[in-house]
């Protein structure tokens, strides 16, 4: 494909939220009542970095943090936003951790291709063949 036909890259979403914003929400909702520990501050920084891109406003960030502190599985599963956040950030980590449990070798793209080949046979990138139903005989 000629370089002139490349698809323009999408700009990265802007994260307008910081550790202080997350702390303010935690205090307002009474999810944090004491002065934060260094570990809690680190958590708030990570939460702002992970969730801030997905929140269009302060209420959106509060809704995403609500998923952590007020766990209600049916409500979470009903939210499209929570599916997007969870799928994007958790899926890769889950696959890598599972791979390390099964085999301590590094799980890079070459290792992924090996797993795919071992799982699906000699057709990488494809699904396994569907089982054929037994042939009916006339009696």
Q: Is residue 137 part of a domain?
A: no
C-alpha of 101 from chain center:
20
C-alpha of 27 from chain center:
26
Domain count along the chain: 2
The 10s digit of each residue's pLDDT in 101-115 is 666 666 677 777 776
Domain that holds residue 110: 72-124
Q: Answer with the one of 24, 41, 70 that is the final residue of a domain.
A: 70
For the stretch 120-127, contacts whose Cβ atoms lie closer than 8 Å and that sit 24 or more positions apart, written own/partner, are none
| pTM over the 0.75 mark | no
The 10s digit of each residue's pLDDT in 42-83 is 999 999 998 988 888 999 999 889 878 877 778 777 878 777
> Residues 6 or more apart from 49 whose CB is under 8 A from it?
15
């Amino acid at each position: 494909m000629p370089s002139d036909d490349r698809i323009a890259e999408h700009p990265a979403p802007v994260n307008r939220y910081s550790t202080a914003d997350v702390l303010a929400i935690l205090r307002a909702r009474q999810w944090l009542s004491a002065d934060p520990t260094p570990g809690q501050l680190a958590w708030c920084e990570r939460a702002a970095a992970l969730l801030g891109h997905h929140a269009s406003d302060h209420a959106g960030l509060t809704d995403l943090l609500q998923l952590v502190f007020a766990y209600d599985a049916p409500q979470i599963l009903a939210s499209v936003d929570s599916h997007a956040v969870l799928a994007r950030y958790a899926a890769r980590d889950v696959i890598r951790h599972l791979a390390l449990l099964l085999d301590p070798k590094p799980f890079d793209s070459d290792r992924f291709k090996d797993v795919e080949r071992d799982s699906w046979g000699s057709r990488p990138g494809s699904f396994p063949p569907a089982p054929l139903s037994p042939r009916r005989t006339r009696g």
